[in-house]
Structure 1
Amino acid sequence: MQQTLFNVHDVVLFITVYQCLLFALFLWIFRVRKRGNTLLALFLLCHAAIPADTLILYGAAFQHWAIEVSPNLFFAFGHALWLEAPLLLLYVRTMVYRDYRPRWRDGWLFLPFLFYTLFMLLHYYRLDHASKIAILYGYDSFDDRTYSRYVNLLRELFRLACGVLAYSELWRYQQRIKDVYANIEKIDLTWLRILVLGFLAIRADKVFELFGLVLPVGWQYYIDFEFIGLAANYTVMLLISALIFFSLRFSTVVTGLPEPKPELEEKPVDKLVISPDEIQRLESHMREHKPHLNCLLNLDNLAGQLQWAPRHLSQVINRHYQQNFFDFINTYRIDECKRLLADPSHRGENMLEIMESAGFNSKATFNTFFKKKVGLTPSEYRQQQLASR
């Protein structure tokens, strides 16, 4: 990255800056999900600043330009490295939790940014112009002072930790989704998981690179720092492109869950008392009103019909029936399918019509769940029942 304007690696960084700025502007203008889009736009602005920081640090022509404009510009864009990981974490939380909004306790995520700003204020920004110029004309990132390397290593470890937290939020969402929804086929977090894992891999790569810099000099000959840096730049460009494509196309398929609140945790399962009247009321409601026939039914809907708290209904289902909400509702749907398949008056209906009449909206889920519960495919069950009649 020491070639004069412009080599192909510079162009990749420029493309990344352009993508981030353009998409951030788009999100700012068309704010459909205001909170989530604002966080995503801020994340993209940080990722526009990071390639700019790379160009200034590693591009000789850009270094001279930055020094001539303002010595403070040389390190200014590097502050974004402390912000993008917390912003991605908060964005993921807005995607997986309904009505999530950052709280004061989330402020700890931005403490490293404040500490770094203070560090730079004391060690660089407060210096006079001549001292800054002297430092910059002798600056070499591969011959940087030891304490700066450790600061950068701490930064990358922090970014890696935020990435791990973001992925853990996605994992918890996947674990809880069946406790709230009975139809989950259209809820797909694959694209967001890939993006989080992609940025996580880049940060792990950067941690490895910085560990190499603080190791004894002999070890550094075995690490190709230029290749690692360039590979990360190209990967970021591809991930930003994927983020733009998938977030525009598939953001609507992410259905948020209620945010878990430790202060409102329910009673432990072994201490929960479920009265027979509650079980009878639930089963009577399912039998008489057949809410499971509604393919859009979820935990909140059913709890509202019973005038129960959603948390309480979830506990009743988990404790008494040893099932999650997904299995509980779809068991009733399978019973409805069995009734329809065994009824000669429905002989002319195909499997798709039977499935939809029972509340299923996915043929794959219908076939898989039916075979699991009955031991036969729907067609085999229909033939068996009609033959016995």
Structure 2
Amino acid sequence: MDKINLLISVTTVSLFISLFLAFFLVTVKTKNKISNVLFAVFLLIIAVDICEPLFNTMVDGPSNLRMLRNTFAFLQIPVFYLYVLSVCYSDFKLKPKCILHLLPFLVSNLILIPRFYAVDTASKISFIINRKNMIELQFSHILIHVQIVIYIIAVFSVLRKSKKLYLENYAGRNVSSYNWLFQFTIALTILYLIALLKNIFKFSDYPYISEWIKIGLLFFNLFIICWYLYKALNNPGLFRNIDSKLKLVSEIVSEKKNSEQTGIKEKEYTEELVKLQQYMVEEKPFLNPSLTIQDVAKDIKVPVRDLSLLINHQLEQHFYDFVNSYRIARAMDILKDVANSKVTILEILYEVGFNSKSSFNTAFKKHTGNTPTYYRKNL
């Protein structure tokens, strides 16, 4: 199979899977409708991008449609950024200001109107032949790479903040879901870096290298899309959205320092700490796998803001770790009890408030230095 046929074959497979998955995401019934639609749009934009080999067999010579297809690359990373916001924040909504993310795409097309879109075929051919010297294309290449860098930084910033907010306010699913989305973003970043390398060779004296890199990109692109969908479809509750109105403890502390308030007084701090510890021991709220700091604040009648400062700032523990410490202590008691020797690790983790084996093992090892199985065998 020669290079052209290989390129068309890989493109056909990638295109089919991308379109099929996009259709599935749009039609499947789920609570995360906006997230699914945004990722489906992301897949469709990628499909437009990877269909070039097939597109070239149907459209001969330079055309407005071909150039427009090329500029769709400007829409990929902004849509992915919006998708990340939608899976991280439960109150995310598409607002009119989201149109601003279209600006690079619009600008790249507007500057092409005078010397490409609005001219005859002969002028278009001349434009493509001399593309290395065309300032419009040079500007577009610089713009898209700057755009990618800015959005990738923004995505990592959103993930970092939302993960920290989750740790400070929730004690449910394992935070590995956020770590995994970090990994997917890193894979996407690598994909864009390879695409940058492809473009460098495309405009160099070695354009044939660009073609082979393009084939590699198609394979890699297909892999990360299938990887993501496999993970998401096998874990429908992978992400637990948080409220974007929540503030990091560091921000709350900073606000308190800038206000006239002096924070929680020592006496109030001691009283609230005793009340919290008594509540955790007597009521055992940690057995609830979906426990939030709002739930605890409501039960012990302490403002969420003060409770967050008490746990995350004064005790220097994330709420996630604070709750897990009680769960692990309870699990250790069960493991020590000879009468429970036949109770499986899986049964124990569900009984103490965890909802996955991986999160239980990670938390147990963090608090004890050993795995649950090793701990039981060496009592």
Q: TM-score, normalised by structure 2?
A: 0.79
Q: Counterparts of 2:194 and 2:128 in 1: how far apart (Å)?
A: 21
- For each residue in 1:298-338, what CA deviation from the matched residue of structure 2 results, as whole angstroms up to 9, or x when unmatched? 32332333355544422220122121112211223344455
- For each residue in 1:183-237, what CA deviation from the matched residue of structure 2 results, as whole angstroms up to 9, or x when unmatched? 44485345533432222112122333445667xx6xx459932232332233223
Tell me which moved more, 292-301 or 348-357: 348-357
Q: Counterparts of 1:292 and 1:40 in 2: how far apart (Å)?
A: 34
Report the count of equivalent residues: 363
Q: Which amino acid aligns with 1:296?
A: S
Q: Counterparts of 1:113 and 1:242 in 2: how far apart (Å)?
A: 28
Tell me which moved more, 117-126 or 353-362: 353-362
Are residue 235 (structure 1) and residue 232 (structure 2) matched?
no
Cα–Cα, structure 1 residues 168 and 366, in superposed 2: closer, same or farther, change >3 Å?
A: closer
Q: Counterparts of 1:9 and 1:256 in 2: how far apart (Å)?
A: 39
Partner residue, 1:44: 43
Q: CA deviation at 1:94?
A: 1.2
Q: Counterparts of 1:208 and 1:267 in 2: how far apart (Å)?
A: 45
Q: Which amino acid aligns with 1:167?
A: F
Q: Counterparts of 2:229 and 2:298 in 1: how far apart (Å)?
A: 37
Q: 1:326 aligns with which of 317, 320, 330?
A: 320
Tell me which moved more, 31-40 or 349-358: 349-358
CA RMSD of superposed structures (Å): 3.7
Q: CA deviation at 1:370?
A: 4.8
Are residue 155 (structure 1) and residue 161 (structure 2) matched?
no
Cα–Cα, structure 1 residues 185 and 208, in superposed 2: closer, same or farther, change >3 Å?
A: same
Q: Counterparts of 1:63 and 1:38 in 2: how far apart (Å)?
A: 30
Partner residue, 2:13: 15
Q: CA deviation at 1:140?
A: 4.3
Cα–Cα, structure 1 residues 173 and 263, in superposed 2: closer, same or farther, change >3 Å?
A: closer
Q: 1:145 aligns with which of 117, 124, 133?
A: 133
Partner residue, 1:387: none
Partner residue, 1:91: 83
- Give the SS at the match of 1:73: helix
Q: Counterparts of 1:8 and 1:334 in 2: how far apart (Å)?
A: 54
Q: Which amino acid aligns with 2:123?
A: I
Cα–Cα, structure 1 residues 197 and 335, in superposed 2: closer, same or farther, change >3 Å?
A: closer
Cα–Cα, structure 1 residues 8 and 316, in superposed 2: closer, same or farther, change >3 Å?
A: same
Q: Percent identity?
A: 21
Q: Higher Cα Rg: structure 1 or 2?
A: 1
- Give the SS at the match of 1:224: helix
- For each residue in 1:148-175, what CA deviation from the matched residue of structure 2 results, as whole angstroms up to 9, or x when unmatched? 1332232133124323322333344444
Q: Is the 8 A contact 2:311 2:318 kept in 1?
A: yes
Cα–Cα, structure 1 residues 288 and 243, in superposed 2: closer, same or farther, change >3 Å?
A: closer
Q: Counterparts of 2:58 and 2:264 in 1: how far apart (Å)?
A: 69
Q: 1:116 aligns with which of 108, 123, 145?
A: 108
- For each residue in 1:323-381, what CA deviation from the matched residue of structure 2 results, as whole angstroms up to 9, or x when unmatched? 1112211223344455556678x5666463655544345452464245249xx974478
- Give the SS at the match of 2:237: helix
Partner residue, 1:25: 23
Q: Counterparts of 2:229 and 2:25 in 1: how far apart (Å)?
A: 10
Cα–Cα, structure 1 residues 263 and 135, in superposed 2: closer, same or farther, change >3 Å?
A: farther
Q: 2:361 aligns with which of 364, 372, 387?
A: 364
Q: Which amino acid aligns with 1:146?
A: M
Q: Counterparts of 1:134 and 1:207 in 2: how far apart (Å)?
A: 29
Q: CA deviation at 1:35?
A: 0.8
- Give the SS at the match of 1:90: helix
Q: CA deviation at 1:90?
A: 0.8
Q: Is the 8 A contact 1:36 1:95 kept in 2?
A: yes
Q: Is the 8 A contact 1:17 1:48 kept in 2?
A: yes
- Give the SS at the match of 2:111: helix
Q: CA deviation at 1:291?
A: 0.9
Q: Structure 2 stretches of 5 or more lacking a match?
A: none
